[in-house]
Amino acid sequence: VTGHSGEGTDAVVILEKTPFQEEKISDLLEKHTKLELQMSNDIYSTYHLYPPPELNQIKTTVVYPATEKHLQKYLRQEVHLIRETWEDYETVTLPFIQSQSFSIQWVYNILEKKAEADRIIHENPDPCNGFVLVPDFKWNQNQLDDLYLIALVHRREIKSLRDLTAEHLPLLKNILQEGKEAIAKRFGVAGSQLRIYLHYQPSYYHLHVHFTALGYDAPGSSVERAHLLADVIDNLALDSEYYQKRALTFALRADELLFKKFQEAGRV
Amino acid sequence: VTGHSGEGTDAVVILEKTPFQEEKISDLLEKHTKLELQMSNDIYSTYHLYPPPELNQIKTTVVYPATEKHLQKYLRQEVHLIRETWEDYETVTLPFIQSQSFSIQWVYNILEKKAEADRIIHENPDPCNGFVLVPDFKWNQNQLDDLYLIALVHRREIKSLRDLTAEHLPLLKNILQEGKEAIAKRFGVAGSQLRIYLHYQPSYYHLHVHFTALGYDAPGSSVERAHLLADVIDNLALDSEYYQKRALTFALRADELLFKKFQEAGRV
């Protein structure tokens, strides 16, 4: 992405390399394509291949004239990992969460059946150990490849992973077990083909669990944000205060307010 | 990925489109590059751009001769999660690893400077707590966006995460600390912009650590395979036998031999 300024008018130009088309692979390998050896070790070797332009086009999108909002949307933000100790949580993150007034009315609307009631896939109505399972907004339910559901717990005082102790094991085990069963029943996807995890930091501070298709490279499923529910359960069973002891890693963009709070605390 | 059979000997050929190099973007846009309009609507338009081959190379990796295992590794397959207890490890996984003779000669070649000696970014030569840091085969070093390096430990008896105890903390801390420093020095990428992790299961059973650019959605960086080195260090500091107690989750393709072993053991 590049912003080019000429005569006071900006443009956004997006260049994208697209996936290979299967039927053109043999052309790529057989046509007179220059091949340059880079490295060779035992049975492994790497090359640079220079295919003819018509076999290797680049998708180009132009926004012109582009407004300030277009430019912002496409500007890259630097991202940094934070290693948050429990003390950091108490002195930086928790005050930040409490100072924010993130509205989670949409969560309460679902739990109270004021919205999306017809979308509920499964509910355990127990006020302490129960939850509601709904398709995530990101999933259109047209295909199972990018299956994505969310379990929202009925209890309202659990903000995140940081609040969990062995007291919450019955709730977490219900979500793992009943969530798998409900998805197998409704969508025919086996529990062994689901990635079931929490985010830390989450995008809203009401405890929820993500269910995504294992074959789907879902955003937020990488190791610096996702925590497998099965791991969380085992960690709590080993040590009830595991998540009040252990440092946790997460990524923040440099323009986020929480990042600034960590900077001010001298922790970045 | 394609397997090509000629005269009874198979090869694996991997073609990859690599990220753009920032300093070559203006060449791409300014050189006499053919531009073909696809669609135009208001301020938005899309094109096909046909750059000259030298500005648009394709990374090519060849494994030749390739064994049946290499072919298997790259064919698309149904994937399932396994939740491996320590008992599963001892009765299923470990006997499987020991029965395999996956050659890791290429690792020893690097450690002994018989191959890739000029590619070494950093070495701590200590036979017990030392390691060698090299660019991964998957990274062509042309741009930092997909930065990928591997630390290979000098000790040869540590197969994976499952073998680690508090005894290995000095080695792991060296890798974390010196790896970050060496990458900052050579490539100018800060430690907070690196995802540093182990795989479980690894693709070869000689302990190694992955360093990838945080902004790069590297294959194998998702929660069902990656374990942050900082988390591993903290877990071992809390409990030296953490990785001999805790169940670990990983994904296996349905055609893998280890998957069949878990099936035979009634664990899938």
Residue type, A189: V
Contact of A158 with A207, CB cutoff 8 Å: yes
Residues of A within 8 A of B77 (CB-CB) are none
- Looking at the complex, report in whole angstroms how far the Cα of residue B103 sits from the nearest Cα belonging to chain A: 11
- Looking at the complex, report in whole angstroms how far the Cα of residue B263 sits from the nearest Cα belonging to chain A: 13
Across chain B, what does the average pLDDT equal? 91
For B1-15, the pLDDT digits (tens) are 444 444 568 999 999
Give the residue extent of every domain in chain A. Answer: 12-73, 76-265
Per-block mean pLDDT, blocks of 10 residues, chain A (268 long): 57 86 83 84 91 88 86 80 97 94 86 89 97 90 89 97 98 98 97 98 96 92 97 96 96 91 92
Top-level class of domain A12-73 = alpha beta
ipTM score of complex: 0.79
Residue B116 CB coordination number (10 Å):
17
For B143-155, the pLDDT digits (tens) are 999 999 999 999 9
C-beta atoms of B17 and A13 within 8 A: no
The whole-model pTM stands at 0.80
For B208-253, the pLDDT digits (tens) are 999 999 999 999 999 999 999 999 999 999 999 999 999 999 999 9
Q: What is the rounded distance in angstroms from the CA atom of residue A6 to the CA atom of residue A62?
A: 14
The length of chain A, given as a count of residues: 268
- Looking at the complex, report in whole angstroms how far the Cα of residue A39 sits from the nearest Cα belonging to chain B: 8
Question: Does CATH place domain A76-265 in 3.30.428.10?
Answer: yes
Among residues A193, A205, A201, A257, the alpha carbon closest in space to that of A224 is found at: A201
C-beta atoms of B2 and A29 within 8 A: yes
Q: What is the rounded distance in angstroms from the CA atom of residue B109 to the CA atom of residue B123?
A: 14
Instruction: Compute the Cα dihedral for B199, B204, B207, B213 and give only its sign.
Output: negative
Tell me if the bond preceding A201 is cis, omega within 30° of 0.
Answer: yes
Nearest to B47 among A46, A60, A222 (CB): A60
Nearest to B59 among A2, A46, A61 (CB): A46
Among residues B260, B80, B45, the alpha carbon closest in space to that of A62 is found at: B45
Range list of H helices, chain B: 25-30, 68-74, 86-88, 94-99, 105-111, 169-187, 229-238, 242-245, 257-264
In this chain, the answer to whether the domains covering A12-73 and A76-265 adopt an identical fold is no
Chain centroid, CA A175 distance in Å: 19
Question: Could you tell me which chain B residue has the CA closest to the CA of A189?
Answer: B80
Q: What is the rounded distance in angstroms from the CA atom of residue B260 to the CA atom of residue B249?
A: 16
Nearest to A47 among B62, B81, B249 (CB): B62
Lay out the sheet containing A148-153: strands in order across. A122-124, A131-135, A148-153, A208-213, A194-199, A226-228
C-beta atoms of B50 and A53 within 8 A: yes
